[in-house]
């Protein structure tokens, strides 16, 4: 692979978990529910995928377990926030913190302190013929199944949001009372949207433990769920927009590895500069802040009823 191919393919690999989580969050937010616990749900999915993969020796089983775990967390969140109408931000924080404890404690209980346990890897699947194309073949068509799923799901969600059911879902996020009057079951729609978002976050987490590495570490999502939230905003709550936004964040992350691999020496205006590795580790977060600072305000502020519980008045 050439340097460029390597960089682009790495960018896509690092964007994939952001895309998966952001696509789920878009559906959830378009229905009016802001779920800031995709960070915790990704962590839960990462652990469930790792544990089930290690136990069964099958990456596919790990992936299924992660999706199921994500759906379960989605149900918990939806029960608290959609059925009981609790504050979505507070409940989201609760799940995030609980997940650090749950996955950390389970990991140590099952795999021990000095664990070197590994899960089977979800191997790349080169698409026949297409993967033989110059540049594009290496970059786009020699990837994990989950990367292809990103593309398919982005298109699928785009079409879904434009369908009659999708219209109903979007109505729940803009004017739930109008949606209700038009016969849309607001609670049910939001519940389903949140569970879908949780499932996607679970899969996104499994991508980290099954496709990117084959190991688990405590709190390994380290803010990716929050970066996915930024991706949703930067992508203007649109699935294709989110894919493009995620690629920018993935690129920043790949650039960080690229610098680290090259001894973090850089030439700036002819002067050798030593970049401390901590600055590189902070780069994805700084980029997120910078992107939001430039773009967040100039966009419309998302679905109107976002974050507001819907209580039917009699």
Partner 1 sequence: MRERTRELAGTLVFPLAGLALITGIILLGGKSPVQGFAALISGSLGGAFALAETAIRACPLLLAGLGVTIAFRAGAWNIGTEGQIYVGALAVVALAPALGMLPAPLAVPAGLLVAAVAGGVWAWVPAFLRTRRGVQEVISTIMLNFVAIQLVSWCVHGPLKESTGQFPYSNEIPAALMLPRLLPPTRLHLGVVFALAAAAAVWVFLFRTVRGFQLRAVGASPEAALHAGIRTERSVWSAMAISGALAGIAGAVQLMGVSHILFEKFSPGYGYTAIAAALLGGLHPVGITLSSGLLGALEAGASAMQREAGVSTVIVYLVQGVIILSVAHQAARRRAVTEAIRQRGAQEV
Contact positions vs partner 1 (CB under 8 A): 36, 40, 76, 80, 84-87, 89-91, 93-102, 104-106, 108-110, 218, 222-223, 226, 229-230, 233, 276, 278-279, 281-282, 285-286, 288-289, 292-294, 296-299, 301, 309, 311, 313-314
Query: In angstroms, rounded to a whole number, what is the distance separating the alpha carbons of residues 50 and 69?
Result: 12
Q: Which is nearer to partner 1, 179 or 230 (CB)?
A: 230
Min. distance of Cβ 97 from partner 1 in angstroms?
A: 4
Min. distance of Cβ 55 from partner 1 in angstroms?
A: 13
Asked if residues 79 and 309 have their Cβ atoms less than 8 Å apart, the reply is: no
Q: Which is nearer to partner 1, 152 or 312 (CB)?
A: 312
Give the number of other Cβ atoms within 10 Å of residue 199's Cβ.
23
Question: Helix (H, G, I), strand (E, B), or coil: what is residue 113?
Answer: coil
Q: Which is nearer to partner 1, 51 or 171 (CB)?
A: 51
Contacts of 303 (CB under 8 A, 6+ apart): 29, 30, 32, 170, 173, 174, 237
Name the DSSP letter for residue 269: T
Contacts of 297 (CB under 8 A, 6+ apart): none
Name the residue with tokens 């989605």: 74
Query: In angstroms, rounded to a whole number, what is the distance separating the alpha carbons of residues 200 and 220?
Result: 17
Min. distance of Cβ 229 from partner 1 in angstroms?
A: 6
| Residue 125: half-sphere exposure toward Cβ, Cα within 13 Å | 10
Question: Helix (H, G, I), strand (E, B), or coil: what is residue 307?
Answer: coil
Min. distance of Cβ 151 from partner 1 in angstroms?
A: 26
Query: In angstroms, rounded to a whole number, what is the distance separating the alpha carbons of residues 52 and 72?
Result: 15
Q: Which is nearer to partner 1, 90 or 133 (CB)?
A: 90
Which sign does the torsion angle of CA 103, 105, 109, 111 carry? positive
Min. distance of Cβ 244 from partner 1 in angstroms?
A: 19
Q: Which is nearer to partner 1, 105 or 181 (CB)?
A: 105
Min. distance of Cβ 183 from partner 1 in angstroms?
A: 23
Q: Which is nearer to partner 1, 39 or 254 (CB)?
A: 39
Residue 223: which region, alpha, beta or left (left: phi > 0; alpha: psi -120 to 50)? left
Min. distance of Cβ 189 from partner 1 in angstroms?
A: 19
Q: Which is nearer to partner 1, 116 or 311 (CB)?
A: 311
């Amino acid at each position: 692979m050439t340097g460029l191919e390597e960089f682009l393919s790495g960018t896509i690999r690092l964007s994939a978990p952001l895309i998966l989580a952001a696509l789920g969050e878009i559906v959830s937010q378009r229905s009016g529910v802001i779920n800031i616990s995709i960070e915790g749900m990704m962590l839960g999915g990462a652990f469930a995928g790792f544990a089930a993969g290690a136990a069964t020796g099958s990456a596919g089983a790990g992936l299924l377990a992660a999706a199921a775990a994500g759906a379960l967390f989605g149900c918990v969140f939806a029960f608290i926030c959609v059925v009981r109408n609790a504050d979505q931000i507070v409940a989201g924080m609760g799940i995030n913190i609980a997940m650090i404890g749950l996955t950390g404690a389970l990991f140590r209980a099952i795999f021990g302190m000095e664990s070197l346990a590994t899960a089977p890897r979800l191997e790349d699947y080169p698409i026949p013929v297409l993967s033989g194309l110059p540049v594009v073949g290496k970059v786009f068509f020699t990837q994990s199944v989950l990367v292809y799923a990103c593309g398919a799901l982005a298109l699928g969600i785009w079409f879904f949001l434009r369908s009659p059911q999708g219209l109903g879902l979007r109505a729940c996020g803009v004017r739930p009372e109008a949606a209700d009057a038009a016969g849309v079951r607001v609670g049910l729609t939001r519940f389903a949207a949140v569970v879908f978002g949780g499932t996607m976050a679970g899969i996104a987490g499994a991508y980290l433990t099954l496709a990117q590495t084959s190991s688990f570490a405590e709190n390994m999502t380290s803010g990716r769920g929050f970066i996915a939230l930024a991706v949703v905003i930067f992508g203007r709550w649109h699935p294709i927009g989110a894919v493009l936004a995620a690629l920018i964040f993935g690129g920043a992350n790949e650039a960080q590895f690229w610098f680290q691999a090259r001894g973090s020496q850089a030439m700036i205006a002819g002067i050798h500069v030593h970049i401390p590795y901590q600055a590189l580790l902070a780069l994805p977060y700084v980029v997120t802040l910078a992107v939001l600072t430039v773009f967040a305000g100039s966009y419309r502020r998302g679905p109107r009823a976002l974050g507001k519980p819907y209580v039917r008045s009699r």
